[in-house]
Amino acid sequence: DGLWFYRHVFTEDEGSVGADGRYTYHVEIPMSVIQQAWTDQGGTGDVIANPYILAWDYGLNPSEVFPINLPSGNPGTPSPCVSPEGGHWAKDAVGWWYVCADGQTYLKAGWFTINGRDYQFGPSGYMMTGFLKRASGEWVYADSEGALVSGWVRDGGQWYFLDPATKVMATGWLAQGGSWYYLTASGAMAIGWVEDGGTWYYLNASGRMATGWVKDRGTWYYLAPSGAMLTGTQVINGRTYVFDESGAWQR
């Protein structure tokens, strides 16, 4: 499962080309050959019963990964190692995993610190990327190399902010670069109108909280220095203005 390999290079005699231009291959590999390859690579006892296979053109266009069933009593579920010390990174067409010092087991199903950086590995042992949830319930974000990032991150068309110190995804109000932003409960940066604590605020297209006069859909509103939308009768710069309950300027 990610560590043991049997490679077969297809020949033209083993394949045919269909009307759609796709190649179809057929090969039969004796169980004795597979067992010998398992033994040659340090496997003990019977070869694992459920390895996965995939096909690719020298690293290009990999197929989907799917398991096969071999007539073996070895379930192939060695206990994962718990320490990355002395191990090394490995990669295949599916992704990255971390081989432990014994060369047989690998990190999986948890968080591990490698060379001072935290990485999460899935149940199959592959390094995970994107948004990841810690056991504490906090969300972090791992880049394509699995490293946790900080600052602004764009994912799925939305902007998120990861705390520079903790790498944890922020929510609520955020002061950054002299401006205020509002991050929803999902962490996504808000734009447009936002209600918080019974008060309305307006975030412009860049996510920055607006102050002063704002025109939205043909209607004028006024936002206090705190960003709060004003209603009722207000004196602004020595002049009196009237705003209705929705904040729209009336006169």
Could you tell me if 69 and 122 lie in one domain? no
**pTM (predicted TM-score):** 0.63
Q: Work out the mean pLDDT of the chain and round it to a whole number.
A: 83
CATH of the domain at 171: 2.10.270.10
**Same domain membership, residue 18 and residue 70:** yes
Contact between residue 107 and residue 98 where contact means Cβ atoms under 8 Å apart:
yes
For residue 216, the enclosing domain spans 191-250
pLDDT above 70 (res 145): yes
**What pLDDT does residue 1 have?**
39
pLDDT in tens, 152-165: 999 989 999 999 99
User: What is the three-class DSSP state of 139?
Assistant: strand
Q: Band the pLDDT of 60: cuts 50, 70, 90.
A: very low
Q: Are residues 2 and 45 in the same domain?
A: yes
Number of domains in the chain: 4
Same domain, 37 and 2: yes
150 lies in the same domain as 215: no
Same domain, 13 and 56: yes
* Domain end among 128, 150, 170: 128
Residue 17 zone, left/alpha/beta (φ > 0; ψ -120 to 50; rest): beta
- 248, 191, 189: which is closest to 217 by C-alpha? 248
